[in-house]
A and B are shown apart, each in its own frame.
Chain A
Amino acid sequence: MDDIPPYPPIDPTTFDLIVIGTGLPESIIAAASSTASKSVLHLDPYPFYGSHFSSLPLADLPSFLSSHSTSPSPPRSPSSDDPNEFSLLEFATRPLYSSIDISTFSPNLLDQHSRKFNLDVAGPRVFFCADKSIELLLRTGTNQYMEFKSVDATFVGDNKGNLWSVPDSRAAIFKDKSLGLVEKNKLMRFFKLVQGHLAGEQDIKISEEDLQSPFVDFLNKMGLPPKIKSFILYAIAMADYDQEDTGVCRDLLKTKDGIDQLALYNASIGRFQNASGAFLYPIYGQGELSQAFCRRAAVKGCLYVLRMPVTALLVDKDTGCYKGVRLASGQDIFSQKLILDPTFKVTLPSGSSPPLPLKEKLPFFSLKDDKGKIARGICITKTSLKPDISNFLVVYPPRSLFPEQVTSIRLLQIASNLAVCLPGMFVLYISALCNDDDQGKKLIHAVMNTLLTVPLDSESNAAVQSETAENGSAVQDETSESSSGGPSDSGEEKPTLLWSALYSQELTLGQVDFICSTPMPDGKLNYNDLIDTTFKIFQEIYPGEEFFPETSLENPEGDGDASPET
């Protein structure tokens, strides 16, 4: 960020709303606000769209992660004193990623083609064909900026390297070879019960008492065997925590929620004719989604300035109220409202206490971190984890890999036909919720050791490697023990790892006030919760405005030259 090209000054200098960061929530708010005829300035310090939701070339990912891994830089002095009527509050970046571990096993091949990769920073993530993000895309016409392909299947993995297909439909249950006849019957009857309940058939209504009870209890009541329970809870309802261990479970599903999840899954299968599974993935990666909303915003008049860091917040000296921002170019821009991406943190001038009114507002800047972390891993291989199928999801339910595993680990394999990597290669995104970095590493390593061959002569930087060796070897011992218990998928060689990036990400929530900040990518598989939060933030800043009114469909493109690339 040191070599900022000289920018012409931004004109006008006053806006209704300034949005900093082009992550998905910021982009949606920019688009929604522009649609509501607000004047919006959308800034991003990076030369690309998407911030923490972006898809990056292979070489750019490590630097992006590490630029957000350092502790807040000390406030630049002098900062607080300004000749005019504003006080300046410095921005600093928050450390959002930690324990970053990049390993390269095939340097030549990958370095030459770095830009052929579009790696999601916040993977694994997919769209359910019938979820809120797809509805929003269709409703706003944003879908015209994106193309999707189907994620063809979901599997459940075990510690022996087997991938069991998830019998998620009538045809899949019929075809499944791992379920017994009785299991098939029970599962199909359960699906029919849920369908009947959702269709409002009187005689198969699920009682209110059941709906309010834990989903896992309801599944037990239905007499479903453990294997099927696990399929439903973790591979269809996508629960994160061990539902049968109330001590560790932080997301205990009620039957009502479980059924809503099943309904979403069921509505997703077969919604689009050329999508065979329940999920979609965008060509060129998930970063396309933020960019598409930016284009949508630009069409409605939002002004975009990339490569433009913001250095300080301008606050009224007397009232402590927000007035505007100071850009890295030195220009001051003013607005009624401000949306900040979670990277930024306002630093108080050292030693000086802020004026009273501001102090009252300050709690909104202390972002909550009590949701723990999410461990993410990106692996690149040359062979698919499963022959004959390239794009699919794998779920490792809690305790399926080792006894201390209390959260689901999800893995998404995306092939080159989605333009995310070199032809013939595959990108694996892995994630799991965790309490700390060590636990997170252990979870990601457990999956990698089960499915991949990790070459010994890693060329990753020494500091990171020694760290990995400590954590990794401990995990290796445990998992290798369990995997030697049974025959691993014999005959088929495990894919060899070419490159990997492991990191932990903070799960910061959004904040809502006269200055609002958006949330980090969450630990979910789709964008539903993020869209809900984004909607709330929008309502907070513009309580009277409709969030993408229906009429906005009429002329989504507007004048053609106002594309976000400008």
Chain B
Amino acid sequence: MHGRPRKAPKPEDEAASSAKAQKLRALQTQFFTFHHNKIYTKEAVELSAKLLEINPESYTAWNYRKLAVEHYLNLPDCNPDSIKSVLDDELRVVENALRQNFKSYGAWHHRKWVLSKGHSSIDNELRLLDKFQKADSRNFHAWNYRRYVAESMKRSEQDELKYAEDMIYTNFSNYSAWHNRSVLLSALFEKKAGGFLLKEKVLPEEYEFIHQAIFTDPDDQSGWFYHLWLLDQTVTTDSPLLASSWPGHGSDVLLVGDRCYNGSAFSPFSALHSDSGSFPIVLYFNQPVGGVNSSTVTVECGFNKNEDLFWKPLSASNSQTAQVWVAHLKVPSSDLHSTVEVSVGHSKGIISTRGFVYSHPSMFSFKVHVQPMERDSSQVSVAENISLREENFKVYGTQSEESIIDSFDQLIIKNGHETTASNWRFEALAKEIECFRELLSLVDCKIGKLTLARLLKAYDAMSYPFANKLVHSEEVLELYSDLMKLDPTHYQFYKDEHSIVLLQKVTSSKESLLQHCFQYKDSASSAICDPICLRLNNLSLSRMGAFEKLLWVQMLDLSHNELQSIEGLEAMQLLSCLSLRNNKLRSLTTLEPLRKLKSLRILDISYNQIGDQSIDTTRYVCSSPLSHSVGSELNRDETVTSDVALINNWEAFFIFKDFNLNQLDIVGNTIADEKFKSVLVKIMPKLKQLDGKLLD
């Protein structure tokens, strides 16, 4: 039951509960004896029923009863009548247990198990459920079981929808009923039954319905959850789409052996230093997908015809689905000018995590120019000392603007498929925006502001391909700033959202992006040319985002922000130089996305909070549960043969062993004492410079 305050137990209650415990212990001891000796006599089975009546949570007893049932059903003199009576007994025991605790997992599960035997009438179940759902209309066990029963009975979704609606009318503060409604509608959408259950017809009606709840009581959260589901249904296209790629369509890629290149005809945005003889092709989808491989994505080029490319998912977990996929294309080291064509999804197999097939085949092509090395790469590297200091940057010159315009437009893949069908989505969003502006004019409510921010963001995202700007981004940023003040408990969440919207705004137009592009020029550097550095420093970012627009970035300055996580950064496959100086990274494991950046040479993580806390809270902050992936990748032999110190610094070992860093700055972190630094040097033998000091 809900809304009943817990009362402190009275002394007599305690006495009663200790008496109950004693009785329970006695029963339990006896029960285990029967169970272990596989005794299924009538007496023994009845004892388990008694035990379950007192304590329905005893799952061992439920399992024992299952074994007992199996035992009876396998007896030679078993007939339909005796089967029925055995199973009816089980249903009765479950009912008694549920009377004791109607939220007992074991009891509900046992009932399902009995029902699955197929000898019991399912009609009784609905009657029983009606009773339970009347007693507590928000009992999610009952709702869950109801779905099972409805499915077994082949009760129509429409009938169940009506039931859920009645429950909502009785009391709309019912998460379970709203949830069931969303489940049923999803099933109907999938069936597209009768054609009238198309999203564009149903969703506007559902919005209308949920408005009644939200306007009546904006403080009730159950309605907001349903609204969030509706928004998701409105915004998300079923079929996954390719959002962007690197290299972009129609771009020219210049591969050079060192950081200098000749021929100013090429934009510094598409010139790439490569010393491994290959370059990455990055596919960025609008949602996580699986099934990206050399048969679903074909790459045709003059120099490397039949080579099977290996496509790798870039995700924090080790799953085989990801929003970003990468493959490395090998190029001959000789002078080369060639066109590469990448076709995505011409043969079926790419499928979203929601189970929708990639159904809009797309193709992009670009030109590759390979410039042979002019100098010995090792010489250059030794001399290189990138120092991201203020004086080393200058605003990116206007003379090159032409080239960035091209490059910028090439970042976006235009998908024309959905536009005709999505008019209703625009209309629905526009209507919702109007509606919530009205609500906010009536009441100052946090979740109303959050919803408006989400709606505006979604509207902007949807209209971006046509408008080429984010019309409402200022308003969204204001809403999130407001929320940070109004609702300090969820400050970090709003901050993260704020950061992502800010990044989307920055990357939304070439003008705004150019303001953050600087040419790196170190007076001490030996390099002739000036690489482009994207500087997103001092923006008070707590999260990174807008990766689909930043796939081209090789040099990134994120210093002086409030980053606690760099989740998603693994998409920036071209990154070779990254500054995370003066942020709020709290542990080494937050650096995990960097392990997937094979080009990363220079990393500055100085002045963070690594080592401040003895407990690694990363897994709570972002969805990168390192503990899950560590076992599979760690080579035990390696650990054993290494220095003893490595065992005490296994996180450092795990994170850094895959790095190809030349230069690392880690000063200003609690963890970075001399001992730790010596460990780092052992883990990364290729490291040439640590905290500004050249290593031997």
Contact = CB atoms under 8 A, between A and B. Distances in A.
B170 A171 contact: yes
A376 B435 CA distance: 47
Given A173-B216, A188-B216, A188-B217, A182 B169 contact: no
Interface residues of B, number: 16
Given A174-B169, A184-B216, 6 more contacts: A170-B216, A174-B213, A181-B435, A182-B438, A184-B212, A185-B218
B146 interface: no
A182 B212 contact: no
A186 interface: yes
Contacts of B169: 171, 174-175
A181 B434 CA distance: 12
B216 A182 contact: no
A174 B216 contact: yes
A189 interface: yes
B172 A182 contact: no
A171 B169 CA distance: 6
Contacts of A185: 215-216, 218, 439, 442-443
A175 B172 CA distance: 9
Given A182-B438, A189-B443, A171 B172 contact: yes
B393 to A, nearest CB: 52
B353 interface: no
Closest 8 CB pairs between A and B?
Answer: A181-B215, A185-B215, A174-B216, A184-B216, A184-B215, A173-B216, A188-B216, A174-B172
A48 B439 CA distance: 59
Interface in A149-176: 170-171, 173-175
A6 to B, nearest CB: 60
Interface string B430-458: 00000100110011000000000000000
14 contacts: A170-B171, A170-B172, A170-B216, A170-B217, A171-B169, A181-B438, A182-B215, A184-B212, A185-B216, A185-B439, A185-B442, A185-B443, A188-B216, A189-B443
B543 interface: no
B216 A186 contact: no
A173 B438 CA distance: 18
Contacts of B172: 170-171, 174
Contacts of B217: 170, 174, 188
Interface string A2-16: 000000000000000
Nearest to B438: A182
Interface string A184-200: 11101100000000000
Nearest to B208: A181
B181 interface: no
A171 B213 CA distance: 9
Contacts of B211: 181
Interface in B134-187: 169-172
Nearest to A180: B215
- Per DSSP, chain B at the interface is helix
A186 B443 CA distance: 9
Contacts of B438: 181-182
Interface in B403-438: 435, 438
B442 A182 contact: yes
Interface in B205-222: 211-213, 215-218
Contacts of A188: 215-217
Q: What is the interface residue range for chain A against chain B?
A: 10 to 19
B341 to A, nearest CB: 53
Interface of B: 169-172, 211-213, 215-218, 435, 438-439, 442-443
Contacts of A174: 169, 172, 212-213, 216-217
Contact of A186 (B170, B171, B442): B442
Interface in A185-225: 185-186, 188-189
Interface in A349-364: none
Contacts of B443: 185, 189
B439 to A, nearest CB: 7
A123 B216 CA distance: 35
Nearest to B442: A185
A184 B435 CA distance: 14
A181 B218 contact: no
Nearest to A175: B169
A186 B439 CA distance: 10
Nearest to B218: A185
Which of A181, A182, A189: most chain B Cβ within 10 A?
A181
B138 to A, nearest CB: 14
Contacts of A186: 442
A101 B212 CA distance: 47
A184 B218 CA distance: 11
B441 to A, nearest CB: 9
A170 B211 CA distance: 14
B170 to A, nearest CB: 6
A498 to B, nearest CB: 35
A182 B213 CA distance: 12
A267 to B, nearest CB: 17
A445 B170 CA distance: 37
Nearest to B168: A174
B1 to A, nearest CB: 15
A186 B216 CA distance: 8
B175 to A, nearest CB: 15
Contacts of B170: 171
A187 to B, nearest CB: 8
A373 B684 CA distance: 102
Contacts of A170: 171-172, 216-217
A182 B442 CA distance: 8
Which of A173, A174, A186: most chain B Cβ within 10 A?
A174
Contacts of B213: 174
Given A170-B217, A186-B442, A189-B443, A181 B171 contact: no
Contacts of A171: 169-172
A189 B435 CA distance: 18
A221 to B, nearest CB: 16
B493 to A, nearest CB: 26
Interface string A474-513: 0000000000000000000000000000000000000000
A181 B214 CA distance: 9
Contacts of A184: 212, 215-216
A174 B211 CA distance: 9
A270 B217 CA distance: 19
A174 B177 CA distance: 15
Contacts of B442: 182, 185-186
Interface string A326-347: 0000000000000000000000
Nearest to B219: A192
Contacts of B216: 170, 173-174, 184-185, 188
B532 to A, nearest CB: 51
B204 to A, nearest CB: 15
A189 B445 CA distance: 13
A414 B513 CA distance: 74
A392 B438 CA distance: 35
Interface in A408-439: none
B5 to A, nearest CB: 15
Contacts of B439: 181, 185
A139 B96 CA distance: 37
Contacts of B215: 181-182, 184-185, 188
A189 B217 CA distance: 8
B290 to A, nearest CB: 42
Contacts of B171: 170-171
Nearest to B211: A181
A185 B436 CA distance: 12
A174 B214 CA distance: 9
A184 B172 CA distance: 14
A186 B215 CA distance: 9
A188 B171 CA distance: 14
Nearest to A185: B215
A182 B435 CA distance: 10
A174 B172 CA distance: 8
A14 B215 CA distance: 68
B540 to A, nearest CB: 34
